[in-house]
Amino acid sequence: MELTNAQRASVLIHALPYIQKYYNKVVVVKYGGNAMVNEDLKNKVMRDIVLLQLIGVKVVLVHGGGPEITEELNKIGKESKFVDGLRVTDKETADVVQMVLAGKINKSLVNIMQNNGGKAIGLCGIDGHMIEARQMDEKWGYVGEITDINAEPILDVLEKGYIPVISTVGCDSENNVYNINADTAAARIAGVLGAECLISMTDIAGICEDPKDPDTLIKIINVSEAPQLIKRGIISGGMIPKIDCCVEAIRRGVKRVFIIDGRIPHSIIVEMLTNEGIGTMIV
């Protein structure tokens, strides 16, 4: 349905309070899942982020890339192994992770943003020792636990008017490279930056009373309610570590965290610039 000029103007006017709310504030977007694999969705997400930049929001994009890593490992005949939901990362796999995340995916996202009128610079956790890490557990190999975040490279890029696009590989003082969970990295980065909000793009509508029924979406969750929701089984499986990261972000000073469905076009804009929102807000 084509909007009239008056309707377009009305949409912009209604968005004004939200634009004012986020103007000159840092917003961290954790990007992954189906929205990253689908090329049409990927373009729409990047355009949304460019729009936010152009209205004065300081967007920081943190991305993973699990499916692409698996695809690249398959090409070299290496089987992907997972233990407790985390990829077992030996030295060869760590090299592939670095190549895919810091190279192929990162530069592709930067390119799409720039072709949509944005200004972006790709970074990885190794740059400026931004994400320092140590081995989490021997059973996972080079999967890293974050020990420190150096926000200086991110702040430098923001100050110059660019969107930092950050791939989640970490490093230590002994030249080891670590595969870092993107949700964990986004939460820690949002906390260090004192972000206004963290937006976590997932493949579900948000937190629902009945995970199979999106109509049971819980719009607002207080961090104190999270343990009870886990106990009741409303939050389960792969959502538990995601919620733990959201809670961690709030405790580190992020004002609010949104879990939204990245499969829905323009879900970031709907969540940030409208009254109703689209996912679950954690406060």
pLDDT in tens, 127-161: 999 999 999 999 999 999 999 999 999 999 999 99
Whole-angstrom distance, CA of residue 216 vs CA of residue 200 = 19
pLDDT in tens, 23-43: 999 999 999 876 777 888 899
Q: Is residue 140 domain-resident?
A: yes
Number of structural domains in the chain: 1
Q: Given this model, what pLDDT does residue 184 score?
A: 93
* CATH code of the domain covering residue 168: 3.40.1160.10
Longest dimension (CA), the chain: 61
Q: Is residue 152 domain-resident?
A: yes
pTM: 0.92
Instruction: Tell me if 124 sits within 8 A of 102, measured CB to CB.
Output: yes
Q: Is residue 8 domain-resident?
A: no
Which strand (E) or helix (H) includes residue 175? none
pLDDT greater than 90 at residue 229: no
pLDDT confidence of 14, banded at 50, 70, 90?
confident
Q: Is residue 116 domain-resident?
A: yes
Q: Is residue 118 domain-resident?
A: yes
Least confident range from 41-50, 91-100, 120-129, 232-241: namely: 232-241
Which residue range(s) make up the domain with 111?
Answer: 23-282
Which strand (E) or helix (H) includes residue 86? strand 86-87
pLDDT greater than 70 at residue 1: no
